[in-house]
């Protein structure tokens, strides 16, 4: 599978005035978002369809992207949620037995604007030094000054409620056609899933561990969750700043002690806020599939998958009520906690790891055990 590409000049404009010239990738046009970088070597299809990337322009630091194409099996949601895509070298030649589209065709299908032939090493270094910032990809004929002025009128992601644009509009029961990993030793446990931007791999993994899943919109009141009579509540990943999500924080707070809770990523931050912790924005976030995390309970080191720009402030954790269970070894930030008095725990990273390693999938077993013990 190969493509005949006619290059169109495109520009990446950063809020600090930096300009990168490159080739248009995907749908020509203009798009704005927070520029972040992801260090994963593979998994671009899963990354693009992760709703946690809503509002962001994703930079892949691996030098060549697109060589295994796109297939119908590796979607993590109903569409591409990333605002744009930035890469060094695009591979027009696709070689994979499951591929049915090229990356270029995939981006065009969802009207996503990207740019290639960018010095992504320089861009990643700039983000690391100055922090994540708003950016624009454009194929327009406007001057650099006009584009910079237009870009600076766009708000940052801080203080914005982004999850209403990504979560389901009505509850649904999750079913997969082919589940070869289901643990037949587990009785089916009813789990209510708060969708703040859920990935399909999380739902697959919960079902594989023997859970009957009902997915609810992220603004569902707690009483509606309890009316379904679940045996556990899962708090999903999602995009943006957790602090504006008071409706979700309030609902989770009212569920504490009534039912076992497991949160990841944004769900981890919402649980932290429900427990009176504080959150803050990271300088350039954690985005990748190779972040080392130390399990403080076992002493083991897990290589983990991350995608978040905010975190729970480790100094705000009340150590008389909560145990810190996981620490990021790159920057010593909080990666997980467990409450001592109620069945609630969470991690900042993605234990389903799609893409990424499988070191942390034991956390799903921990959730299963919490539910069984709570109702024993």
SS3 36: strand
Whether 350 is catalytic: yes
pLDDT tens per residue across span 337-357: 999 999 999 999 999 999 998
CATH class belonging to 163-374: alpha beta
Please report, rounded to a whole number, the percentage of residues in the chain having pLDDT higher than 90. Answer: 93
pLDDT tens per residue across span 136-170: 999 999 999 999 999 999 999 999 999 999 999 99
CB 156 within 8 A of CB 56: no
Mean pLDDT (the chain) is: 94
Contacts of 125 (CB under 8 A, 6+ apart): none
For residue 13, what are its two tokens? Answer: 């404009």
Q: Mean pLDDT, to the nearest integer, of 40-61?
A: 97
Whether 96 is catalytic: no
| Domain residue limits, the chain | 9-151, 163-374
Equal CATH topology for 9-151 and 163-374: no
Supply the pLDDT for residue 376. 76
Question: Which of 123, 162, 155 shows the shortest CA–CA distance to 39?
Answer: 123
Q: What is the DSSP letter of 17?
A: S
Q: Which of 104, 265, 277, 287 is catalytic?
A: 265
pLDDT tens per residue across span 74-123: 999 999 999 999 999 999 999 999 999 999 999 999 999 999 999 999 99
SS3 252: helix
Residue 302 has pLDDT above 70, yes or no: yes
pLDDT tens per residue across span 192-250: 999 999 999 999 999 999 999 999 999 999 999 999 999 999 999 999 999 999 999 99
pLDDT tens per residue across span 25-36: 999 999 999 999
Residue 4 has pLDDT above 70, yes or no: no
Provide the CATH number for the domain formed by 9-151 in this structure.
Answer: 3.50.30.20
Whether 104 is catalytic: no
């Amino acid at each position: 599978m190969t493509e005949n590409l006619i290059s169109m000049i495109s520009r990446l404009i950063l809020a600090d005035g930096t300009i990168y010239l490159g080739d248009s990738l995907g749908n020509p046009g203009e798009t704005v978002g927070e520029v972040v970088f992801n260090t994963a070597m593979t998994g671009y299809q899963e990354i693009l369809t992760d709703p946690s990337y809503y509002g962001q322009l994703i930079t892949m630091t691996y030098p060549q992207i697109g060589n295994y194409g796109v297939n119908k099996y590796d979607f993590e949601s109903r569409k591409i949620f990333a605002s744009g895509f930035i890469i060094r070298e695009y591979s027009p030649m696709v070689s994979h037995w499951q591929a049915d589209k090229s990356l270029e065709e995939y981006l065009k299908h969802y009207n996503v604007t990207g740019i290639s032939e960018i010095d992504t090493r320089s861009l990643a270094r700039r983000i690391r030094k100055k922090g994540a910032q708003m950016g624009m990809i454009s194929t327009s004929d406007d001057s650099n000054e006009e584009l910079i002025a237009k870009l600076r009128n766009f708000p940052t992601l801080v203080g914005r409620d982004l999850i209403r644009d990504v979560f389901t509009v009505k509850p649904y029961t999750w079913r997969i056609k082919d589940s070869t990993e289901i643990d037949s030793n587990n009785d089916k446990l009813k789990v209510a899933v708060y969708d703040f931007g859920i990935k399909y791999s999380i739902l697959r993994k919960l079902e594989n561990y023997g859970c009957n899943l009902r997915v609810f919109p992220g603004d569902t009141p707690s009483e509606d969750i309890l009316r379904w009579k679940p045996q556990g509540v899962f708090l999903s990943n999602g995009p943006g700043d957790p602090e504006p999500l008071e409706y979700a924080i309030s609902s989770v707070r009212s569920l504490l002690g009534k039912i076992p809770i497991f949160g990841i990523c944004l769900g981890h931050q919402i649980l932290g806020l429900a427990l009176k912790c504080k959150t803050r924005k990271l300088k350039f976030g954690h985005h990748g599939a190779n972040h080392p995390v130390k399990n403080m309970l076992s002493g083991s080191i897990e290589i983990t998958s991350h995608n978040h720009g905010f975190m729970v402030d480790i100094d705000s954790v009340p150590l008389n009520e909560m145990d810190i269970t996981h620490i990021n070894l790159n920057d010593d930030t909080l990666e997980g906690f467990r409450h001592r008095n109620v069945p609630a725990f969470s991690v900042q990273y993605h234990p389903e790891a799609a893409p990424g390693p499988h070191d942390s999938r034991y956390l799903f077993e921990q959730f299963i055990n919490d539910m069984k013990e709570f109702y024993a």
